[in-house]
């Protein structure tokens, strides 16, 4: 499902994110979604990724979980984390488990580097 704030370009596939961020009426639309692996395959990208920049309005963890890290081996990953305690977030724990370390933090965007 896809959620969009009426009269705006703000959108997400996460209903809880839409409720939290959007003010006013929210349009709902059923769409076909692809995993990151499917998008990369259709784009014929078959090599290591230098920089993966993810900004998908609350669905960042789902995107990361859909990537074959063994195949694409991103060197750097820029991802949004909205939790106050970054190290307790699901995204931080996922990337730490995938052998990535946090090397830079902004307000919401954070950059992780592969430890290998």
The predicted-structure confidence for 81-110, as pLDDT tens digits, reads as follows: 988 999 999 999 999 999 999 999 999 999
What's the total number of domains in the chain? 2
pLDDT of residue 17: 77
Confidence check: pLDDT of 27 > 70: yes
The HSE-up count of residue 38 (CA atoms within 13 Å, CB side) is 7
Contacts of 106 by beta carbon, 8 Å cutoff, 6+ apart: none
Structural domain span for residue 13: 1-33
Do 56 and 97 lie in a common domain? Answer: yes
| Distance, CA of 16 to CA of 68 (rounded, Å) | 26
Do 108 and 51 lie in a common domain? Answer: yes
For 86, list phi and psi in degrees, rounded to 5.
-55, -45
pLDDT band per the 50, 70, 90 thresholds, residue 112: very high
Residue 68 lies in a domain: yes
For 37, list phi and psi in degrees, rounded to 5.
-60, -40
């Amino acid at each position: 499902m896809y959620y969009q704030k009426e009269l705006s370009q703000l959108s997400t596939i996460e209903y809880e994110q839409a409720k939290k961020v959007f003010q006013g009426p929210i349009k709902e639309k059923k769409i076909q979604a692809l995993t990151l692996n499917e998008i990369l395959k259709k784009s014929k990208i078959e090599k290591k990724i230098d920089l993966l920049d993810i900004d998908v309005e609350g669905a960042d963890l789902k995107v990361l979980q859909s990537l074959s890290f063994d195949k694409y081996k991103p060197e750097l990953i820029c991802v949004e984390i909205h939790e106050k305690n970054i190290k307790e977030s699901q995204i931080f724990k996922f990337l730490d488990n995938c052998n990535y370390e946090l090397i830079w933090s902004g307000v919401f965007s954070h950059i992780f580097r592969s430890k290998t």
